[in-house]
């Protein structure tokens, strides 16, 4: 039995309320996406718009209204340190490429760290009206339905999510796909790593691997997967590491060994 972390309940409820509110704002932008000016970041595939920035601003403001001493890291505006022991780690829109190109695979991803552990994970996919919510000791749910992973699912009888960006070489990505297929697995990539991690928690995917992602991409999904009975490769969050990239792997129990081998972890 996990002892209750002080202050967890209010933040868990707040994270869910904010995810829905932020998701509604993002959905409004999505529905008029032809009016958005699309900018690029690291390369032509790495896109962003005012929707990402405004949604992050909203989430920051909502957290600060209630928990002004909490730290906050968002993809668009970076890290503001706090001193409460809690840090919110937010991707306002994960799956910006699907978002700007008119595909529904994007989400709002909100994690909360307590003493460097992801203790809250909330992912909301507005186009599907799906709210994934998990917190330490409270389990994980999808629209209120409890999520429990099936240990009989492996990379061979289920599908694995993968992702990649230009932090890794084409050869590395080719090898990871080759190794997964050679081991009898198959893959899907929908353009939102955070959403695919939520799909692992929901049992839709048996695992998710991406060689280099950031804390805002993975921590909410990690909490969800753990609470559903799965496993994740820890993401380094101490000090400066919180804003740097690292390999991301989360799995159902029956896929852990195979995917650790494929990921070389
Ligand atoms: C990206 C998505 C994508 C993953 C990239 C991420 P963004 O996040 O999660 O699926 O492959 O590594 O950067 O840019 O849509 O927030
Ligand atoms: Ca992201
Ligand atoms: Ca993003």
Q: How far is CA 40 from CA 3, 30, 96, in A?
A: 45, 17, 11
At 68-99, the pLDDT tens digits run 999 999 999 999 999 999 999 999 999 999 99
At 107-126, the pLDDT tens digits run 999 999 999 999 999 999 99
| Residue 45 structure tokens | 């595939």
DSSP-derived letter for residue 121 is E
Nearest CA to ligand 1 atom 8: 94
Cα–Cα distance measured from residue 191 to residue 238, given in angstroms and rounded to the nearest whole number: 28
- Distance from residue 4's CA to the centre of ligand 2 (Å): 30
Same fold, 8-146 and 160-263: no
CATH number of 160-263: 3.40.190.80
Q: What is the value of pTM for the model shown?
A: 0.96
- Direct distance between the N- and C-terminal alpha carbons of the chain, in angstroms, rounded to an integer: 29
pLDDT of residue 1: 45
Cα–Cα distance measured from residue 144 to residue 104, given in angstroms and rounded to the nearest whole number: 21
Residues 131 and 159 sit within 8 Å (Cβ to Cβ): no
Sorted by where each begins, the domain ranges of the chain are: 8-146, 160-263
pLDDT > 80? residue 19: yes
CATH number of 8-146: 3.30.540.10
Q: Determine the atom of ligand 1 nearest the C-alpha atom of 97.
A: 15
Choose the residue to mutate in 125, 205, 217 for probing ligand 1, maximizing ligand atoms within 8 Å of C-beta. Answer: 217
- Distance from residue 25's CA to the centre of ligand 1 (Å): 20
- Distance from residue 1's CA to the centre of ligand 2 (Å): 33
């Amino acid at each position: 039995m996990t002892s209750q972390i002080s202050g967890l309940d209010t933040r868990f409820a707040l994270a869910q309320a904010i995810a829905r509110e932020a998701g509604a704002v993002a959905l409004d932008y999505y529905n008029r996406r032809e009016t958005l000016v699309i900018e690029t970041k690291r390369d032509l595939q790495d896109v962003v718009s005012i929707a990402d920035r405004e949604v992050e601003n909203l989430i920051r403001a909502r957290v600060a209204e209630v928990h002004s001493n909490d730290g906050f890291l968002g993809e668009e505006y970076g890290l503001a340190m706090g001193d409460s022991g809690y840090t919110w780690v937010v991707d306002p829109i994960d799956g910006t490429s699907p978002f700007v190109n008119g595909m529904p695979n994007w989400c709002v991803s909100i994690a909360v760290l307590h003493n460097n552990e992801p203790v809250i994970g909330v992912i909301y996919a507005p186009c599907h009206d799906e709210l994934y919510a998990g917190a330490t000791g409270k389990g994980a749910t999808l629209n209120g339905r409890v999520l429990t992973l099936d240990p009989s699912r492996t990379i061979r009888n289920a599908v694995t999510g993968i992702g990649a960006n230009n932090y890794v070489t084409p050869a590395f990505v080719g090898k990871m796909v080759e190794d997964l297929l050679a081991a009898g697995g198959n893959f899907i990539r929908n353009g939102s790593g955070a959403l695919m991690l939520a799909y692992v928690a929901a049992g839709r995917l048996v695992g998710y691997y991406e060689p280099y992602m950031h804390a805002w991409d993975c921590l909410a999904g990690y909490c969800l997967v753990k609470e559903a009975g799965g496993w994740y490769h820890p993401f380094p969050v101490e000090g400066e590491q919180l804003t740097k990239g690292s390999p991301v792997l989360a799995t159902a129990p029956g896929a852990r060994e195979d995917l650790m081998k494929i990921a070389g972890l």
